[in-house]
Every structure is written in structure tokens, then in C-alpha cells.
Amino acid sequence: MTETKKDRPWLFRTYAGHSTAKASNELYRGNLAKGQTGLSVAFDLPTQTGYDSDHELSRGEVGKVGVPVSHLGDMRALFDQIPLEQMNTSMTINATAPWLLSLYIAVAEEQGADVSKLQGTVQNDIIKEYLSRGTYICPPKPSLRMITDVAAYTRANLPKWNPMNVCSYHLQEAGATPEQELAFALATAIAVLDDLKGKVSEEDFPGMVGRISFFVNAGIRFVTEMCKMRAFVELWDEICQERYGITDPKMRRFRYGVQVNSLGLTEPQPENNVYRILIEMLAVTLSKNARARAVQLPAWNEALGLPRPWDQQWSLRMQQILAYETDLLEYGDLFDGNPAVTGKVEALKEGARSELAQIDAMGGAIENIEYMKSRLVEANAERIGKIEDGDTIVVGVNRWTEGEPSPLTAGEEAIMVADPAAEADQIARLNTWKAERDEVAVQAALAKVREAARSGANIMPPSIEAAKAGATTGEWGDVVRSTFGLYRGPTGVSKNPSNRTEGLEDIRGQVDAVSDKLGRRLKFLVGKPGLDGHSNGAEQIAARARDCGMDISYEGIRLTPEEIVKAAQEEDAHVVGLSILSGSHIPLIEELMNRMREAGLGHIPVVVGGIIPDEDATRLLAMGVAKVYTPKDFELNRIMFDIVGLVDAAPIAAE
């Protein structure tokens, strides 16, 4: 009997980066030694949004959700002793993708690598940033132009590189239904390919279609999620064939990497997240014809704070056990011909086609950012409402909430704390870098970037020249901002109340009563200080407050504490609500509270929400914050009652 030939396993990755390039390099080399087979680089928010570590907006954000990379020296340190020619590197970078890829190429050349052999991916999907994650810099059209500049450059110079990773991951995190996730991601890919057609030759175009990859989310409803992946495969094949006339089946292959859902990770009973992560991984590995090419798994404790290396190792071992200890890779597709699966796949495809046709008829993805954003906010409101009502059961959160305390969360080192000295260290090295470089060469190179941006020439060659000359991320970002202009994306939260006011009668009555006492409508200012663009929570709080009858003010993301205090003054707010998920809550709230008092607004209650450890919550309350909310506080109506109570208890003299 012949031995069954096993399939090769997918790439094993963990999404990692923090504090400094040197610390992250040590983490990467440790993970590679443990059996990880590809790198997935997380950059901090200043790097993602094109600011240097010493910029006002970077305060408190440096090294928090990823690694800071301000210049060639940082990139050099990040990949020290890691041969890039042999590596498959995924970089989760979007607005600054041309710049970070330029730095990567510059380091590879320094290592003596053959650049044409470099393998990896830049996410380079700006459209989903407007919809869900918020790390955009400039308006949609110039952003699309830079996406396709990167694609055209890689075609000529980095033939093994994936120039774009269409990212539906964050769409699901923002509340997308499976049909919306399919449609919005495919609409993004269509927008990019339509634009790219004018930048590469007809004979090269099929090869570029073949290099587009996807980055997908898999949630807990793993049968639906597995069927969604099969639907993605079939719809992409259909679009490539019918819209673009791609005849080679290899070029129509749906190639995707995945991180399973972080949205569903719970703060209560966090040990249950291990099971959730495993079940979600099955959705993207069980079906051979729709299996992920690369998988990275969150850690069980990400709803509590930064995972430690041990937590990431645990998730890596989960992949290795499935790939090497089970017999999964010895078989063909387990679901072909299954009527339940076929029926679900067809239903998902039909729903996605309908949504795609609507977007297409309205002018495509770039023209319909606001429409897609509002659809996501509505879908997320529905999802949260079902958890609040108990229609969707979440174990340990809204059912079976009594349990034994977890020994995994005991002790001060249960989660990793960002090095408080890392920001100052990063800024000091940035200043040294600037002092020692050839300033004339830097300015000359940046002038070429500006000229390319203005003229429409490909932005990659001058960006690589600027990287080698020693320009910084903030300087490259400033050129982009000054040339293309700044952009503030739609919030998806309309001023008009939704139809979902059932069950809000009591809270609406209290809002009316307090508003009568105040002599005007209760004013609630919602703000997101710093660079954190994960706005889902802020949007849902603002929308529910609106539906409860409050007068809301929510202008979206990326505000300085000074701007929020000014808005509170101008809007004559009765309460201020702040959302921060990047871990920068202590320095940002401290500055905001000081500014509130200096402006004579110390009487206005401030409430804060985010991924905030207990000891940090205690510090925030000591600063004068009225209430602190974390992911366990999923009942939005309870938060609304708290807000009304805070305003009602405020001294009349404050008015």
C-alpha cells in the first residue's frame, strides 16, 4: 500500500512588533527558532499614519501596537541577522506602504540580496482603512494611485512580491455580514485592477491579477465562515474570468492569508478564547480547495492587553499540532458535493453579487466609501443588539457568567506591558539619525518624491532614493499630505435616529427629563484622541446615544487632546466620552484631563472606553475620569444610563 502524500502546510505566522526595532528583531528571531515559517510585521500607529515618533500626534502611541520605523536605521535593526532573500515577510502597512516597502528594499540591497527574489506582501489596502481602521492619510483617489504605483513597480522589479493584500479582516471587525465582507473586499480588488490596467501592459496584466492576494477574517460560526471562503474562491475566479478575461486558472487562484477573529475574544473568562481561536482556524484550513496560504492567530489574552511571547507561542503550537499531528493534510477536499455546503455557498455568492452590483451601479468602491461605511455601522449595531438581547449567546459574557477565577490571568505579568522608556529611546535615536545624515541629499531626494507625486510619475523610485538618503517616515508623510491634502473619512453615524429605538423607552424618558432640567438637549461629545483608528466602539456609543435622544457630537478619529477640549468648550458639552484601543490611554487622558481643568471644564464628566487593564483603570479614575469601560461592558444601554446619571448629578453651577 502506497503512503499517502501529504500536502505542504500553510505558512505559520504570528503578528508581532512592539517597543523598538531592536526588541522586535529579538522577538522575530525567537519566533523563527520556534518553527514560525514567515514574518508578519505589526507597525505602530505613527509609522502607519506617516508621522515620526516625535510628532505631537505620536505622543503615547510609539511602539504600542507595533514597531516604530522612522528611517532606514530602524528598518536595518528590525531585520538584523534575518536574511531577507530567504524570508517571506508580510507587512501590515497601508497609507505608508510605498515608503515601508522602499525601506525594506533598501535594507535588502544592503544585505546583498537579489531584490527580484524578495517574497512577501504589503497590505496596501487603503479602502478598508476608510471603512474600519482609520490609518489613511490622504483622499481616496490619490491613495488608489499609490496602491497601483506599488503594484506596477513590483511587476517590473519584485516579481515574487504581492503588491496588495485586499483586507476584509477589518470589515468583519467593523460588523460586516459575510455577504458584505465578500462584496466590499471584491469591490476593492476591482477598483485596484481597473486602475492598474492603465499602468501595465496587456500582456503583463494577467500576471498582476495573479499577484493580488487577500487577507481574511474567520469568525466563530465556522461552517458559515468555511462556506464564505469557498464563495470567495468561486467569486474571484468568476470575476477574473468574466470581467478581466484571465484564461490561465493559476492567475485566477484566490490566494489568501488569515488572522482569525479578534473581535470575538472575550475579557471575561479569557481562557475560553483558546477554544474560539482553534474553532475559527478550522474554517480556513479544513476545506482544501479554500485553504489559507498563511495563518496567524491572535493570542488568548488580547482582550486584556499585549500578549507575551509565551501567549504567541501557544497560538503557534495550535497551528503546528493541526498541521503535523492530525491527518488533515493527507486528504482532498472534505466538502465537495456536500449539499448543505453547496447551498450555503450559493446563498452567500448570491448576496455578495447583489451587493457588488449595487456598488458597481453607484460608481465603484472609491466613489462609495460613505455608503459602505454606513452599511457597516448599521450591521455592527445589529450584531451588538443581538448580544445585548441574548439572541446571540457568548459564553461567559451574556450566559454562564459565573466561573472559577482563571489562574492564567493571575499575577502582575499575565500580560505584557509596553516599555515606558521605549518612546524616549526611539525619539533620542531619531534625533541622532537626523543630526548625522546628509541633509542636502535628504532634501534633494524628498523634492523628487514631491515632483513624482505632483506629476503622476511612479512614486516608488524616488521613495527608495529618499529611504537610502536617510529621509524619515514623517518627512515622506509630510510630502504626501502637502501634495494630496488631508482627508477625514465618514463616521457612518448620521444625525438622524435609526429605527432601532425599541427597548429604549426608559432611557429616552430619562434623557428627556434631564434635558428639561438643563434647559436644552443633553450634549454628549464623543472623541478619539491619538492615532487609534479602530472606531467601531466609538461609532456604536455615538449611535446609541443619538437613538436615546442625546444631542451627539462625533467627528471621527485622530484628534489631539487640545482639539477635544476645544470642541467640548465650543459645543458646551455636558459629558465627554473617549475611546482608545491602542494602549495609549494613560498619557493621552492625563494630558486631556489637565487641559480640561486649565480650560475651566473640570466639572464636565469624562468617561473612557478601551482595552484597559484594571491597574490602569484605577489610575484613570484617580486622574478624575468618571467611568472606565472595557470589552466586558457590552450592554450599551447600561452605559447610556450611567451617562445620564453623571450629567444629572453634576452641579447646576456647571451650566
The catalytic site residues sit at 15, 169-170, 528, 532, 534
C-alpha distances (whole Å) from 527 to each of 372, 566, 592 are 22, 12, 11
- Name the residue type at position 277: I
State which amino acid sits at residue 6: K
According to DSSP, the residues that pair with 598 across neighbouring strands are none
Which residue spans within 521-585 are E strands per DSSP? 523-527, 551-554, 575-580
Residue 178 near residue 348 (C-beta atoms within 8 A): yes
3-state secondary structure of 256: strand
**What whole-number distance in Å separates Cα of residue 325 and Cα of residue 334?**
18
* Nearest in space to 534 (alpha carbons), one of 486, 584, 603: 584
CA–CA distance, 533 with 516 (Å, rounded to integer): 35
CA dist 509 and 523 (Å) reads 16
Do the bridges between strand 161-162 and strand 165-167 make them parallel or antiparallel, or are there none, so unpaired?
unpaired
d(CA 305, CA 628): 15
Measured distance CA(256)–CA(296) in Å, rounded: 12
d(C-alpha 527, C-alpha 585), whole Å: 13
Identify the CA nearest to 299 among candidates 277, 283, 279: 277
Task: Find the angle CA(26)-CA(469)-CA(57) to the nearest 5 degrees.
Answer: 65
Tell me the three cell numbers of residue 426.
526611539
Beta bridge partners of 525: 553, 576
Cell numbers of 644, please?
445620564
Cell numbers representing residue 319 in the block = 497551528
Instruction: Tell me the C-alpha distance between 284 and 277, whole Å.
Output: 11
Other CB atoms closer than 10 Å to residue 472's CB: what's the count? 28
DSSP 640-653: HHHHHHHHHHS-GG
**Cell 517616515, residue located:** 473
The helix-helix angle for 369-389 and 536-547 (nearest 10°) equals 70
Residue 92 phi, psi dihedral angles, 5° rounding: -80, 85
Torsion of CA 186, 190, 191, 193, to 10 degrees: 130
CA dist 282 and 295 (Å) reads 11
Cβ–Cβ under 8 Å, residues 491 and 553: no
Yes or no: say if 554 and 577 are a contact pair by the CB < 8 Å rule: no
The three grid cell numbers given for residue 224, joined into one nine-digit string = 458559515
Q: How many CB atoms lie within 10 A of CB 546?
A: 20
Task: Read off the amino acid at residue 5.
Answer: K
Tell me the C-alpha distance between 315 and 309, whole Å: 10
- Separation CA 19–CA 233 (nearest Å): 38
